[in-house]
Amino acid sequence: MPPLPTNYWSCPDHSVALHAGADHYLCRQFGHRFPIVEGIPCFANFEALTDIQRSELKHREREVRYEGDRRVQYERRIEREAVVGRLRLTAADRVLDAGCGVGRITRALLTSPAEVVAVDFSHARLAELRRAVAPTMRLTLATADVTRLPFASGAFSAIVHTQVLEHIPTAAARVAMLRSFRRMLRPGGTLCLTVYNFSEPWRLRGDAKEGRHETGVFYHCYRADELRHEIEVQAQLKVEELCGVINLFPHTFRAFPWLGPLARRIDHWGERHPALSQKWGHLLLARATR
């Protein structure tokens, strides 16, 4: 049975407490049963996914073991350091990794003493994550749609959401999800997210602000003011910081993966200069509090 206490689970459709059975969770009020599949409770309603989401899920399940080249690994490291370094987690924290994939950030979160809950709509990705980490009672996994999460109000002191928001296909669904994050955060809790930045390099390459990757995965690139509006005005969270990360300053991006710690220092330096990094960062990072 997953370690997250029963009172933190909540029916994704009716927002009422769930009863834990031996091989399922039950919404007693409406009789919905959520099965536990290979040890991972499943709250996702795959029939309700749109065609765009189905095609993303198919792609994500195929791409479970993607390591990436040196540049990809460098970029992942910068993002991981930027996100996890901002959370300062203690043993009193419970953090949700919403759309965790194979657990790139989850694994870094587990190096803190916090309790970690990781969800994705891909069971294959969660199984890969479980395979990669040492068994621990501090990690709970669940298969769930991030736009329809099975958690009670105030269940988390922090929510991490890296490179997922931009793949939610409509603006209305993105805002509704951010509002649900607010509900699931304790007062004073932190949301830390990253999204594609519609930055100078994207524009110079002539890439579209919104579209489908070759893989069929939908994406929506954000401008900094647009992201701030969704988080602050529409979801009513206070934006504490909004900067660019993975700073592709002109003429530097090819050299960065090869320059070692010096490049990482320059890259992270950019985060402290939002006017610069919002323009050149590959991603935007927002840290907001409830």
Q: How far apart are CA 42 and CA 189, in angstroms?
A: 26
Task: State the nearest-atom distance from the C-beta of 99 to ligand SAM, in Å.
Answer: 3
Pairing of strands 218-220, 156-162: unpaired
Pick between residue 195 and residue 242 the one whose CB is nearest to ligand SAM. Answer: 195
Stretch of 163-171, 180-188, 198-206, 275-283 lying at the interface with ligand SAM (CB under 6 A): 163-171
Nearest to 270 by CA among 281, 259, 254: 281
Query: Does 288 help bind ligand SAM (rule: CB under 6 A)?
Result: no
Answer for which of 121, 156, 249, 256 binds ligand SAM (CB under 6 A) is 121
Are 154 and 185 a contacting pair, CB within 8 Å?
yes
Pick between residue 164 and residue 246 the one whose CB is nearest to ligand SAM. Answer: 164
DSSP string of 214-276, one letter each residue: TTS-EEEPBPHHHHHIIIIIIS--EEEEEEEEEE--TTTTTTHHHHTHHHHHHHHHHHT-HHH
Stretch of 142-150, 200-208, 257-265, 271-279 lying at the interface with ligand SAM (CB under 6 A): 142-150
Answer for which of 115, 120, 230, 267 binds ligand SAM (CB under 6 A) is 120
AA identity, residue 21: G
Answer for which of 162, 197, 277, 278 binds ligand SAM (CB under 6 A) is 162
Q: Tell the residue number behind the tokens 């402290």, with chain if given.
A: 272
Quick count: other Cβ atoms within 10 Å of Cβ 10?
22
| Binding string, residues 88-107; x marks residues near ligand SAM by CB under 6 A | -----------xxx--xx--
Query: Does 125 help bind ligand SAM (rule: CB under 6 A)?
Result: yes
Answer for which of 167, 174, 282, 287 binds ligand SAM (CB under 6 A) is 167
Give the residue closest to ligand SAM by C-beta.
101
Sites for ligand SAM among residues 55-74 (CB under 6 A): 56, 60
Q: How far apart are CA 89 and CA 144, in angstroms?
A: 24
Q: How far apart are CA 165 and CA 178, in angstroms?
A: 9
Applying CB under 6 A, the residues found at the interface with ligand SAM are 53, 56, 60, 99-101, 104-105, 120-122, 125, 145-147, 162-164, 167
